[in-house]
Amino acid sequence: MKRTRLLAGVSTATLVVALAACGGGDAGQSASGGSTRTLVANDAFDLKTIDPARSFEFTGVMLDQQIYETALKFEGANVKEPKPGICSFTISPDNKTLTLTMQGNHTFSDGTPVTADDVVFSLQRVQGIGGNPAFLLDGVTVTKKDDQTIVLTSKESNPQLPYILPNPSLGIVNKKAVEANGGTADANDKAENFFNSTGAGSGPYTIESFDVQSKVVLKTNEHYAGNKPAYGRVVIDNVDAATQKVNAQAGQAQLAFSLGPDQVSDMNQGRTKVVTAQSARTIFMWFNMTPEFGKQSANVKFVQAMRHAINYDGVVALAGQGATRPGGMVPAGFVGSLESDPSNTYDQAKAKQLLSESGYNGEPVSILYSNDVSVGGVRMQNVAETIQAQVQPLGINLQLNPQPSSTSLDSFRSGKAQAGVAYWGADYPDPANYLVFAPGESLGKRAAWTPQQAPEADKLAKAAAAATGDARAAAYQAFQKDVNVEGPFIPLIQPAQIVVTSSELNNVVINPVTTTEFATIS
């Protein structure tokens, strides 16, 4: 799931801005009272759009968090308890009715107040467009009760909904402005270009300029109801990881988001410091389970052979210190995660036996991945090449199919690619997020895995979704154990989450779901 990178350093214009920004000194103030200081960040872009109803890649989500407030939010790095954002909330005992109540004074970047109508329109637009974030509100009906109250009604018990609403893809947008620029709450929506040029949110920042290939610049939302950011302008440049390290060490960038543990081992000193947190991302291998597209990889015995052909320690070593190997698709640290599972163990003898049972005879298996993507500093290219080399002595012929993320994502989502290496980031800190890996669900569909092919996994997924209280952990573990036997997904790495910052910056906080808030940095 993600980038086109700028292989050269920052441009001359950006360099001038960066040097001025990193030079310290008093925080200047604009005529409107906002700061004139500039914060320069480097990221290896995973970006297609910043229309929140369409954006679901990491860079896009990070940017949307700065521009749009959400109905509920997480504070700092704490993802265990949703807090009021634009709204406060209550949820019914059966977890089917969540009531949002408007609270505080929130103002869009054009100066108009945020209303209940904006909240309803924003959530209904996500549903109506049917883009990548739409599954977040599957089975939820959004209605306005009165000018202060919005009611979200779920068909089934939905205890995770308060943990979903802080997702930046559910950012609250300016209904009137969006509608005036072709926006609707259905598939006829034509407002994406508007969102990519004009911020329509009530967050601390709005858009100054947007280039999906090279650079995004944010400026202060002068009508933001919260505390004014210490940095009134943020420049986010698209550069590769190696250049990010050079820029950070030279003081040409104050934030670097794409460096791995091996790259930062010497950076916790001098101009730079390293901020780390537990990642909520899982790198995994997948196989298409429909013979038409999966061919040899659609055989469950072949996938099981791959589970035992991979030397996991060697793969995890690519991610360096702080990385772990989850036992299932739910990351370590989440309720219901598995520490390990014997179904995913390095055992060459068992792999050979299962290959024989599968009837596989060295046919090529095409491995799709994004060759311009790093996750926690781990390049998909390196993961694919390492696994290819590990399984080759067993006669498994993996043919690498590298593509830029702009095309690989569409290929993966089509459900017609044979196999690949991909990654998934938690949309909300709850194991229910990982039901997308169930047969027939969004990630299951990408692997062409259906409930008819895997009735037991389908049953266990439904049981996990319905579980409450202390029973949830065991239910999600049972589901993952079954997927590890009959499913198409092999969990590989849970990278550490790392941000390199200027030693002069304070309050750089990493949230494993909603990334880093620029407005809190001082």
User: Tell me: the pLDDT tens digits for 272-317?
Assistant: 999 987 788 899 999 999 999 999 999 999 999 999 999 999 999 9
Please tell me the predicted confidence (pLDDT) of residue 426: 81
Please tell me the predicted confidence (pLDDT) of residue 513: 75
Cα–Cα distance measured from residue 478 to residue 175, given in angstroms and rounded to the nearest whole number: 43
Let me know the angle formed at the C-alpha of 97 by 173 and 477, rounded to the nearest 5 degrees. Answer: 95
- pLDDT interval class at 497 (50, 70, 90): confident
The answer to whether residues 245 and 262 belong to one domain is yes
Please tell me the predicted confidence (pLDDT) of residue 333: 77
The answer to whether residues 123 and 175 belong to one domain is yes
Q: Is residue 199 a part of any domain in this protein?
A: no
The answer to whether residues 247 and 160 belong to one domain is no
The helix-helix angle for 455-466 and 471-486 (nearest 10°) equals 160
The answer to whether residues 267 and 287 belong to one domain is no
Q: Is residue 160 a part of any domain in this protein?
A: yes
Cα–Cα distance measured from residue 15 to residue 20, given in angstroms and rounded to the nearest whole number: 8
Please tell me the predicted confidence (pLDDT) of residue 9: 34
The last residue of a domain, from among 163, 192, 221: 192
Q: Is residue 112 a part of any domain in this protein?
A: yes
The last residue of a domain, from among 157, 192, 227: 192
The answer to whether residues 91 and 239 belong to one domain is no
User: Tell me: the pLDDT tens digits for 395-420?
Assistant: 999 999 999 988 998 999 999 999 99
Residue 363: helix, strand or coil by DSSP? coil
pLDDT at 10 over 90: no
The answer to whether residues 77 and 170 belong to one domain is yes
Q: Is residue 108 a part of any domain in this protein?
A: yes
The answer to whether residues 71 and 145 belong to one domain is yes
CATH number of the domain that residue 326 is part of: 3.10.105.10
Please tell me the predicted confidence (pLDDT) of residue 429: 82
- pLDDT interval class at 7 (50, 70, 90): very low
The answer to whether residues 112 and 229 belong to one domain is no
Q: Say which range, 137-151, 260-274, 341-355, has the weakest mean pLDDT.
A: 260-274
User: Tell me: the pLDDT tens digits for 46-63?
Assistant: 899 999 999 988 899 999
Let me know the angle formed at the C-alpha of 258 by 255 and 260, rounded to the nearest 5 degrees. Answer: 115
User: Tell me: the pLDDT tens digits for 97-115?
Assistant: 999 999 999 999 999 999 9
Instruction: Please name which of 65, 64, 68 lies closest in space to residue 48, comparing C-alpha atoms.
Output: 64
Count: domains in the chain: 3
pLDDT at 358 over 90: yes
Q: Is residue 61 a part of any domain in this protein?
A: no
Q: Compute how many other C-beta atoms are within 10 angstroms of the C-beta atom of residue 8.
A: 9
Cα–Cα distance measured from residue 5 to residue 237, given in angstroms and rounded to the nearest whole number: 10
Q: Which of 317-321, 334-338, 384-388 has the highest mean pLDDT?
A: 384-388
The answer to whether residues 131 and 112 belong to one domain is yes
Range of the domain at 146: 47-55+67-192
The answer to whether residues 272 and 295 belong to one domain is no
Kindly list the strands in the beta sheet with 87-91, ordered across the sheet, starting from the edge strand earlier in the chain: 87-91, 97-102, 149-154, 140-146
CATH number of the domain that residue 223 is part of: 3.40.190.10
The answer to whether residues 429 and 401 belong to one domain is yes
CATH number of the domain that residue 148 is part of: 3.90.76.10
Q: What is the DSSP string of 114-153?
A: P-HHHHHHHHHHHHHHT-GGGGGGTTEEEEEEETTEEEEE
The answer to whether residues 458 and 501 belong to one domain is no
Average pLDDT over residues 223-239: 96
pLDDT at 351 over 70: yes
End-to-end CA distance of the chain: 32
Contacts of residue 23, defined as CB under 8 A and 6 or more positions apart, other chains included, come to none
Q: β-strand 233-238 against 38-43: which pairing, if any?
A: parallel
Please tell me the predicted confidence (pLDDT) of residue 161: 94
